[in-house]
Amino acid sequence: MLTLSVIKENPEDVIRRLAIKHFDGREAITRVLELDKIRRASQAELDGKLAELKGLAAQTGQLMKAGKKEEAEAVKAQTAAIKESTKTLEESMVSAEKEITDILLTVPNLPYAGVPEGRTAADNIVEKTGGVMPNLPEDALPHWELAKKYDLIDFELGVKITGAGFPVYKGKGARLQRALISFFLDAAREAGYLEIQPPYVVNAASGYGTGQLPDKEGQMYHCNEDDLYLIPTAEVPVTNLYRDVIFNESDLPIKNTAYSACFRREAGSYGKDVRGLNRLHQFDKVEIVQIQHPDHSYEALEEMKDHVQSLVERLELPWHILRLCGGDMSFTSAITFDFEVFSAAQKRWLEVSSVSNFESYQANRLHCRYRGADKKMHLCHTLNGSALALPRIVAALLENNQTPEGIKIPKVLVPYCGFDIID
149-153, 217-221, 266-270, 368-372: segment of lowest average pLDDT: 266-270
Query: Which positions ≥6 away from 94 have C-beta within 8 Å?
Result: none
Tally Cβ neighbours within 10 Å of residue 175: 18
Mean pLDDT calculated for residue range 253-263: 98
Give the count of beta carbons closer than 10 Å to the beta carbon of residue 164: 14
Give the mean pLDDT of 303-323: 98
Question: Is 135 labelled a binding residue?
Answer: no
Residue 16 is assigned to a ligand binding site: no
Tell me whether residue 119 is annotated as binding: no
Q: Which CATH architecture has domain 121-422?
A: 2-Layer Sandwich (3.30)
Is 233 annotated as ligand-binding? yes
pTM for the full predicted model: 0.93
Percent of the chain residues past pLDDT 70, beyond the cut: 98
Predicted confidence band of residue 271 (pLDDT cuts 50, 70, 90): low
Q: Per-domain residue ranges for the chain? A: 4-104, 121-422
According to the annotation, is 352 in a ligand binding site? Answer: yes
Distances (CA, A) of 38 to 3, 16, 97, 224, 361: 17, 25, 9, 37, 24
Q: Average pLDDT, stretch 217-233?
A: 94
How do beta strands 319-323 and 335-343 pair? antiparallel
- Of 237, 242, 233, nearest to 206 by C-alpha is 237
Task: Determine whether 404 is exposed, middle or buried from the number of CB atoms within 10 Å of its CB (0-12, 13-18, 19+).
Answer: exposed
Residue 266 annotated as part of some ligand binding site? yes
Contacts of 294 by beta carbon, 8 Å cutoff, 6+ apart: 359, 360, 378, 379, 380, 381
Is 39 annotated in a binding site? The answer is no
For 226-243, write each residue's pLDDT tens digit: 999 999 999 999 999 999
Q: Please state which architecture CATH assigns to domain 4-104.
A: Orthogonal Bundle (1.10)
**Lowest-confidence region among 23-37, 49-63, 333-347:** 49-63
Per-residue confidence (pLDDT) for residue 66, from 0 to 100 = 81
Helices 390-400 + 171-190 axis angle, to 10: 120
Please report the pLDDT score of residue 46 as a whole number: 87
Annotated binding residue 354: yes
User: What residues does 262 pair with on adjacent strands?
Assistant: 283
- In whole angstroms, give the CA distance from residue 152 to residue 149: 8
| 210 belongs to an annotated ligand binding site | no
Tell me if 275 sits within 8 A of 369, measured CB to CB.
no
Other CB atoms within 10 A of residue 30 CB: 12
Choice among 48-62, 86-100, 283-297 with the minimum mean pLDDT:
48-62
d(CA 259, CA 305): 18
The response to whether 353 counts as a known ligand-binding position is: yes
